[in-house]
C-alpha cells in the first residue's frame, strides 16, 4: 500500500508540473497562432513594400451610431519598407462615405507617412514638410463601435490593399449611466 501511495504522489506531482509548464508556454501570445499582436487601436495591412499600421477611425459615439453627414478622422501610418523606391498614397475609398486626404502623400523609401494624430500622442511632424497630412471621412451610412468597415488604400507603385477598419473612441471619458443605482458609494 505504501509503495502504491508513493507512486500515486509522484505521478500526480509529475502531471501537475507538466501542466504548469504547458500553461506558461503561450504567455503573452494569442494561443491560436502563437503570434504576438501589437497593443494598438487599429488594424494593419500590407501591399508590396507598404505596411499600413494602426489604421482606425477616431470618433466618440454618443447614441446608437455615428450618423450620416458626420465627419470622422481616419488615422494611420503608412511605412515604405523599400530601400530605394519612393511611393505615394493616391487615394482612399470606402462604402461608408467619402474620404478627403489633405496634405503631402509622398512616402519616401525607408520612411513613413503619418496621417492624423491619435488621442494621447503629440503631433509627429513630417520630415519633409511642415504641413501635416490628414484624412477625413464624411459618412454616407451610419457606423457603430464594435464593427469594422472596409477601406481601400491605393498607392502609386505598390497598388491597392483593403483593410477592415475599427472605430476608436480615443481618450474620451467613460460614460456613466444616469440613475444606474447600485455600486459602492
Domain boundaries, the chain: 43-120+130-166
Superfamily of domain 43-120+130-166: PCu(A)C copper chaperone (2.60.40.1890)
Q: What is the pLDDT of residues 100-128, one digit of tens each?
A: 999 999 999 999 999 998 765 555 444 44
Q: What is the pTM of this model?
A: 0.71
Say yes or no to pLDDT of 3 above 80. Answer: no
Place 40 in a pLDDT band, splitting at 50, 70 and 90.
Answer: confident
What is the tens place of the pLDDT at every residue in 141-182?
A: 999 998 999 999 999 999 999 999 999 876 655 555 445 555
Q: How far apart are CA 172 and CA 23, in angstroms?
A: 36
Closest CA to 117 of 93, 135, 99: 135
What single string gives the DSSP state of each residue in 99-144? EEEES--EE-TTEEEEES--TTSPPPPPSS-SSPBEEEEEESS-B-
Q: What is the DSSP letter of 52?
A: E
Q: Within a 13 Å sphere around the CA of 1, how many CA atoms are in the beta-carbon half?
A: 0
Closest CA to 166 of 44, 80, 50: 44
pLDDT (mean) for 14-20: 75
167 has which bridge partners? 57
Cβ contacts of 74 within 8 Å, gap of 6 or more:
55, 56, 57, 58, 92, 99, 115, 116, 135, 136, 137, 151, 165
Confidence band, pLDDT 50/70/90 cuts, at residue 19: confident
Q: What is the DSSP letter of 13?
A: H
Amino acid at each position: 500500500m505504501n509503495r502504491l501511495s508513493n507512486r500515486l504522489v509522484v505521478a500526480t506531482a509529475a502531471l501537475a508540473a507538466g501542466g504548469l509548464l504547458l500553461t506558461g508556454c503561450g504567455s503573452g501570445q494569442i494561443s491560436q497562432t502563437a503570434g504576438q499582436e501589437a497593443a494598438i487601436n487599429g488594424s494593419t495591412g500590407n501591399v508590396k513594400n507598404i505596411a499600413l499600421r494602426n489604421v482606425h477611425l477616431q470618433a466618440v459615439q454618443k447614441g446608437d451610431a455615428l450618423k450620416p453627414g458626420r465627419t470622422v478622422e481616419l488615422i494611420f501610418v503608412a511605412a515604405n519598407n523599400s530601400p530605394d523606391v519612393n511611393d505615394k498614397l493616391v487615394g482612399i475609398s470606402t462604402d461608408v462615405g467619402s474620404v478627403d486626404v489633405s496634405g503631402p502623400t509622398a512616402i519616401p523609401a525607408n520612411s513613413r507617412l503619418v496621417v492624423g494624430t491619435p488621442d494621447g500622442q503629440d503631433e509627429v511632424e513630417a520630415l519633409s514638410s511642415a504641413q501635416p497630412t490628414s484624412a477625413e471621412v464624411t459618412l454616407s451610412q451610419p457606423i457603430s463601435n464594435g464593427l469594422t468597415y472596409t477601406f481601400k488604400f491605393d498607392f502609386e507603385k505598390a497598388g491597392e490593399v483593403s483593410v477592415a477598419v475599427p472605430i476608436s473612441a480615443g481618450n474620451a471619458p467613460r460614460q456613466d449611466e444616469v440613475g444606474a443605482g447600485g455600486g459602492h458609494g
